[in-house]
Amino acid sequence: MKLLSNIDKFGTLGLFLTAIFSPCCFPLFAFGASALGLGSFELFGGWTMWVFQIMAVISIIGLYVSYRSHKNIMPTIISVISGGLIIFSYNFYDSDHWTILLYIGMFGLLFATGLNYYINKKHMTCKTCTTYNGKTVELNSTLTCPNCGHKKEEIMPTDACVYFYECEKCKSVLKPLKGDCCVYCSYGSEKCPPIQAGDKCC
């Protein structure tokens, strides 16, 4: 869970490190790299373009994962547009000014990552999130009955596993599927807090 919650930061950091340590491909960072004696250094050689685009995609995936948990759509929208600019400028924009789009996409992803962090950590817009064993988890989960399809939002407990759950519509008693520890892991939109935190369930 900790890795997933930080994957957008990993992708954006990787994006900028790739650019900084490849000054031949990214003139904007050439001055700083030259000051460090890396003026002709190429971190990934001929793979720079692909590594750069992969890092952009990782950043977008991380922001989407964050959206799934915190429901803040704006950083994800910005990241998709920014990542699209990067991929478009590299692969489809046949112009001497293609690097302008590239830099806009880079700094757009940086902005999206910063905005996402600010919203989630400073404003805590996720009203149903809590801290479990030092990690942020989502307590709200929508249970879907496999028999009748009825859906109901429930707040998951952090101190117990829910092994049985009665559907309020068809009255079926749900039990976890094989390999799952509770009904939320089997039928919920979110796994139970221990699993989200990367721990073993009760």
List, in order, residues 6 or more apart from 139 with CB less than 8 Å away. 128, 129, 130, 155, 156, 158, 193
The reported pLDDT for the residue numbered 28 is: 62
Q: How many domains in the chain?
A: 2
pLDDT at 1 over 70: no
The reported pLDDT for the residue numbered 162 is: 92
The reported pLDDT for the residue numbered 31 is: 54
DSSP state of 6: T
Q: Are residues 116 and 162 in the same domain?
A: no
Quick one: pLDDT band at residue 90, thresholds 50, 70, 90? confident
Quick one: pLDDT band at residue 34, thresholds 50, 70, 90? low
pLDDT tens digit sequence for 36-69: 555 455 555 667 788 888 988 999 998 888 887 7
Q: Are residues 99 and 6 in the same domain?
A: yes
> How far out from the chain centre does Cα 69 lie?
9
Domain contains 201: no
Q: Are residues 97 and 23 in the same domain?
A: yes
- Can you list the positions of beta strands (E) in the chain? 129-132, 135-138, 140-144, 151-155, 165-166, 173-174
pLDDT at 115 over 80: yes
pLDDT at 141 over 90: yes
Tell me which long-range contacts 141-145 makes (C-beta under 8 A, separation of at least 24). Answer: 141/184, 141/188, 141/189, 141/190, 141/191, 141/192, 142/188, 142/189, 142/190, 143/174, 143/183, 143/184, 143/187, 143/188, 143/189, 144/187, 144/188, 144/189, 145/169, 145/170, 145/172, 145/174, 145/187
Domain contains 112: yes
The reported pLDDT for the residue numbered 165 is: 96
Percent of the chain with pLDDT over 90: 33
The reported pLDDT for the residue numbered 18 is: 75
- Measured CA to CA, the distance from residue 109 to residue 39 in angstroms comes to 25
The residues pairing with 129 across neighbouring beta strands, listed in sequence order, are 138
Q: Are residues 119 and 145 in the same domain?
A: no
Average pLDDT over residues 9-38: 66
Full residue range of the structural domain in which residue 8 is found = 2-123
Task: Indicate the average pLDDT of the chain.
Answer: 81
Contact 99, 27 (CB under 8 A): yes
